[in-house]
Structure formats: C-alpha cells, structure tokens
Amino acid sequence: MQLKDRVTLITGGAAGIGKATAQRFAEEGATVIICDVNSDAGQAVAKELNITFHLVDITDRQAVKQWIEDVVSEHGRVDVLVNNAGVLRDGQLVKWKNGEVVGQMSEEAFDLVISVNLKGVFNCTQAVVPAMIQQEGGVILNASSVVGLDGNFGQTNYVATKAGVVGMTKVWARELGRYNIRVNAVAPGFTATEMVIQMPEKILEGMKAHTPLGRLGEPRDIANAYLFLASDEASYITGEVLRVDGGIVVGT
C-alpha cells in the first residue's frame, strides 16, 4: 500500500497506459480520480476499478480549473497528478515525389497534438500546483516518450510535444522544489496499448526488432514506473526522465 489514501489525478485514464496506471495506483491504496474525453469508456473503467471518473477536456482551461476545484473541495487535497493524456496525428513535414510536394502535415494536425499533449499538460499542472503548495508537497508526473528524446520519422508534432514535456518537467522541478513538489517524466518505448496492438503485424514485428528485450512494453510496465516515482521510494528524485523502453533504438 505504497500510496495509501493519496489523492491521485490521472488524465486520459479511460484506456491504455492511463487505465493501467489507475489500476496500479488503486492496488496500492490511492484514491484515484481519472479524467477523459471518452465518457462511455471512462465510466466503464471507473466502475471496473471502483474509482472516480470526470469528463474533462484538458485543452479547456476553465474545465480543468473546475475539475481541480471539485476534487480539492471533495477530498481536501491532491497528492499526485499524472499527465498521461495524449493524441497522435502522424504525417511527414513534406512528402516529395517526382519533383513536387504530394503531401504534408496539416496545420490542424499540428495544432491539435500541441494543444492536447503540451498545452494540456501545462493547463493541468498550473491548475493543481496552488493546492500542492498550500498542502506543502505533491508529485507531478508527465508522459514523455522515447521519440521525444530521439526523434522519429513522420512525427514532427508528437515529437515536439514530448520533447517540450521534458523541458517543462525540468523547469517545474526547479521552480517547485522549494515547495516540496517533485516533478518527473516517464518516456515509454513501444507499448502494447489498444491503439498499438491494432497495427499490422509487420509493423509490430518491426517495433520488436528495434527493442533489445524483444517485446513490446505492457501498459503495466509504464504504470509501475509511475508508481515508483510517485512513491516515497523516489523522495529524492526530481527533474528526471525515466526511459521505460526495453532498450529501444529508434530507427529511421
């Protein structure tokens, strides 16, 4: 019961790594509140895990502020925030064929991924920090990615956000350490979420081939990293990025 009675918020908690993290934290005694934009999936997970679900779009600053206020009003505090929510909209910066541009990443795809993966993390963290300062401590955990560290073909927008999350993590660790608030990031490799396992078998085998341990990560592998960083076992760790990637070497 490493997190007994610790009030934990998890964004994007209705599926994948978010759901696995909610389950793992609940197993360790945390009071878990998830948010998501998928109401049906969120309610189903809340019922399955006996946790609480809120319908929140993290790109909406007022909705995020209200969510945090509601949680603090009910529970009196927020001990852990896991900024897990994220989206993908892949595409090459410029696709060139036969001497001309035949495609490119759209502005809409770029803006959406920035809004969710980067600004959403900013919105949630900025909203929760005052409560953590008042209670004299807390933990903020951010979802980066190995591609945010190494880059990846066709992911200008996604890589930009995940690299940005690393930068924000380091800034916030410096700014908030004086208030006993620790801020760290986790950088997963290829992980067998619902979205990933639906990919063609050839692509999945390619992912495994680039991973020295020879398999995809499980959502629970990432959840265990979040659990460690949220726990008192990591009380002297802040401003770090923990790769959980099976030793992956990202190819071109």
Q: Identify each DSSP E strand in 93-145 by its residue range.
A: 94-97, 100-104, 138-143
Q: How many helices (H) and strands (E) does the chain have?
A: 10, 9
**Coil, strand or helix: which one is 115?**
helix
Please write down the HEC assignment for all residues of 208-220. Answer: HHCCCCCCCECHH
φ, ψ for residue 247 (rounded to 5)?
80, 20
Check 158, 179, 226, 236 and give the catalytic one: 158
- What's the CA gap between 129 and 176, in Å, rounded? 9
Rounded CA separation 60/108 (Å): 17
Residue 190 identity (one-letter amino acid): F
Catalytic residue check, 179: no
Containing 65, the helix (H) or strand (E) segment is helix 61-75
For residue 47, how many other CB atoms are within 10 A of its CB?
10
- Which residues are tagged catalytic? 158
